[in-house]
Amino acid sequence: MPADRRTAARLRAPSGVVWILDDDIDTHRRHLRGSYQAEKPPVTVRLQRLTDSDIEVAGTWRYKPGSLRPRGLAWMAIELLTQARARRGTVVAAQRFASQQLADAVLKRGLDFVFEVRPSSPVVAMLPRLVEKGSARWTPYIGSGPTRGSRLNRFAVARLGSVTAWDRQLGLIGMAPGGLIDSSLVRYALTSRLRLSIETVATSLCWLRWLKDLDRQEANASTGSENNEPKRTFRLTAPLRPNIRRSAAMDEQLFAGVSTASNATSNAHVQRRPAPKPKKVVELFAGAGLLGLGFLEAQGSAYELVVSAEVDPVYVETLARNHRYLAEATGRTSAVPQLVEPIDLRRQASLNKIGSVGHVDMVIGGPPCQGFSNANRNSWNPGNPNNLLIDTFCRYVRELQPSLVVLENVQGIVWTPKAGPMARTSAAHHVILSLKRAGYDVYTRLLDAVWYGVPQRRTRFFLIALSRSLGIEAGDLGEWGPFPQPTHGPGLKPYVTVRDAIADLPEIGNGHLETELLYTPPTHDALSRNKFLEEMRIHSTGSVITDHITSRQADYVLERYTQIPHGGNWADIRRLLTNYADVNRTHSNIYRRLKWDEPAVTIGHYRKAMLVHPSQDRGLSLREASRLQSIADWFRFSGSQVGKRAGLMHKQQQLANAVSPFVAKALAEYLATLL
């Protein structure tokens, strides 16, 4: 019998708190089907808190299949609820968790429950007949959640009466996905109260289904990508960009609403007021200073970098060297810090010292990302020391009270649990909540460097927080909020390619370590045709190119390079990778030969990844990798003084951790209109 033909009600999140229990074992089973693994992968159980149409992870627990006997899943679920101090709301559990033990524990805490049960369960075994006879009254609903516009948002719900189970009288609810009333499709749930809010029940069951679908999408996307473990976004507002193929497909849809014309008038209703004087910027966890560099190079000289804080002496040497050079080249000596020395931001004395600079307009920075990075997947745990530094960043924001905050990090910050004994939320969501409590409106987005004229696909997480004292509300901003709209992509300027970036550089060999090399500078006409190269040559003169140097790699590695085709990777030389214990677990960008006429893959630690020059059988040089990061030729990385090769390793690591200056510059130029 079809659902009621009345206009479907739009379902909103219930006013109370909903605790959702589920796991990812179904996703594991789908991917292991038809294969054999001696050791099954661990299963992740999640307790999630749903409030006001948003969801956050309140606790996680991982276990190996078969290790829970005799305690069982119910015991684990009770432990998670206890740790989260669940004292109000409704507990919603997926089929595998439904049990009398969990029901008793939930009711003892004064909570209600909605337990999804299998159609084969004895308590609902007779229900399909009732459904087919059409005795139930079905109400159509349209849900709100992470899949707006999807068929997953349309369903029908009916109260199917009451049943006796677990020594109690329980309510029985049916949900028909898509609104199709078919006994083979209807899902069932037991409720602790006979008249529990239908919105609570329906929303909860719908979220369970959305989360399962999300698990499958992310597991499918991660297959053959940089990370082979399923990932869960903690705030379901920005789809992840797990690999180049999927990112390119997503861009086709994303850029449908972005045009050159809309870029020209982007957020035109936000008043653009020229700054009477440069804004003071404090850069935290500066690294090699590439985020701050983008602000210094912003058109109109809208910023002064009053502090560039970094603890590593090698990075500090890089900062001081390039600040001096830029000040001399531009004549803006006041735009860079007068003194740069190692500073441990965790110390109270450091906070006092930075606070002594007086009023600060902006705080920018990227706390070390090794605890969140795809390249360091073994570090994905709440206890990684790097995960604690986001608290340090938030502490400085609270103390300095800038008008605007910019935080950059890798995508992994979205799904990595926050450090601490309970890991109740993701690191990203923790920062969001901290800054909101400090008086900021917070916006987040995943930005791909290729959108802003960088010749590589490099997706990073960016957070912008606007002080409420600015009086700028979400309605004052366009669809992209405080983020600049892309300038390159489908329908816009063409992406900058590897050829645009490095084709002019001299040919060199394996292990070339001469830091200065004769070079024929591009002609004026060549630069006018290649705007990217023109920007790379700013502040550079003469017929010498610096840091066009390469690591020396073994002969067997070079032999592998010769057999990798244009755009190919490790899969083309699988038979030669005899030194890998399990070659299938390598990153997809290992042994990747770049394509001349496309942007590069993400330039991380390019030597470790064995990235290969498009036409020469060698690894990339430091200058080539710098160009692909949009780092101009005048910029020099400092390195260890212990041997030339050790110095190159330090420089390669600094480059791998860097923000692409073109992205930082695009942010800086747009944010200048908001201050």
Q: How confident is the model at residue 240 (pLDDT cuts 50, 70, 90)?
A: low
Tell whether 365 and 486 lie within a shared domain.
yes
Tell whether 199 and 163 lie within a shared domain.
yes
Tell whether 189 and 111 lie within a shared domain.
yes
**Residue 264 located in a structural domain:** no
Tell whether 106 and 205 lie within a shared domain.
yes
Q: What mean pLDDT value characterizes the chain?
A: 80
Tell whether 293 and 217 lie within a shared domain.
no
Contacts of 89 (CB under 8 A, 6+ apart): 16, 17, 18, 19, 111, 112
Query: Is the four-CA dihedral 95, 96, 98, 99 of positive or negative sign?
Result: positive
pLDDT in tens, 344-372: 999 999 999 999 999 999 999 998 865 44
What local confidence, expressed as pLDDT, does residue 96 receive?
83
> Rounded CA gap, 161 and 170, in Å?
9
* Rounded to 5°, angle at Cα 542 from 537 and 543: 100
Query: Is the four-CA dihedral 284, 288, 294, 300 of positive or negative sign?
Result: positive
pLDDT in tens, 156-175: 888 888 888 888 888 888 88
**Residue 257 located in a structural domain:** no
Tell whether 381 and 503 lie within a shared domain.
no
pLDDT in tens, 464-516: 999 999 999 887 888 889 999 999 998 899 999 999 999 999 999 999 999 99
Q: How confident is the model at residue 674 (pLDDT cuts 50, 70, 90)?
A: confident
pTM: 0.67
Tell whether 34 and 148 lie within a shared domain.
yes
Indicate the residue type of 516: E
**Residue 301 located in a structural domain:** yes
CATH no. for residue 629? 3.90.120.10
Residue of higher predicted confidence among 85 and 531: 531
Q: How confident is the model at residue 450 (pLDDT cuts 50, 70, 90)?
A: very high
What local confidence, expressed as pLDDT, does residue 264 receive?
43
Structure tokens given for 31: 């991917």
pLDDT in tens, 505-533: 999 999 999 999 999 999 999 999 999 99
Domain boundary among 222, 254, 287: 222
pLDDT in tens, 580-608: 766 665 666 789 999 999 999 999 888 88
Tell whether 212 and 73 lie within a shared domain.
yes
Tell whether 325 and 410 lie within a shared domain.
yes
**Residue 618 located in a structural domain:** yes
CATH no. for residue 178? 3.90.350.10
Tell whether 653 and 666 lie within a shared domain.
no
**Residue 338 located in a structural domain:** yes
The interaxial angle of helices 25-32 and 198-222, nearest 10 deg, is: 40
CA distances from 479 to 20, 122, 258, 469, 651 (A): 31, 50, 10, 22, 38
Split into its structural domains, the chain has a count of 3
Indicate the residue type of 63: Y
**Residue 229 located in a structural domain:** no
Helix, strand, or coil (residue 113): strand
CATH no. for residue 355? 3.40.50.150
Helix, strand, or coil (residue 241): coil
Q: What domain range is 139 assigned to?
A: 9-222
**Residue 373 located in a structural domain:** yes
Domain boundary among 177, 195, 222: 222
Q: How confident is the model at residue 407 (pLDDT cuts 50, 70, 90)?
A: very high
**Residue 397 located in a structural domain:** yes
Tell whether 31 and 172 lie within a shared domain.
yes
Residue of higher predicted confidence among 293 and 643: 293
Tell whether 578 and 522 lie within a shared domain.
yes
Start-to-end CA distance of the chain, whole Å, equals 59
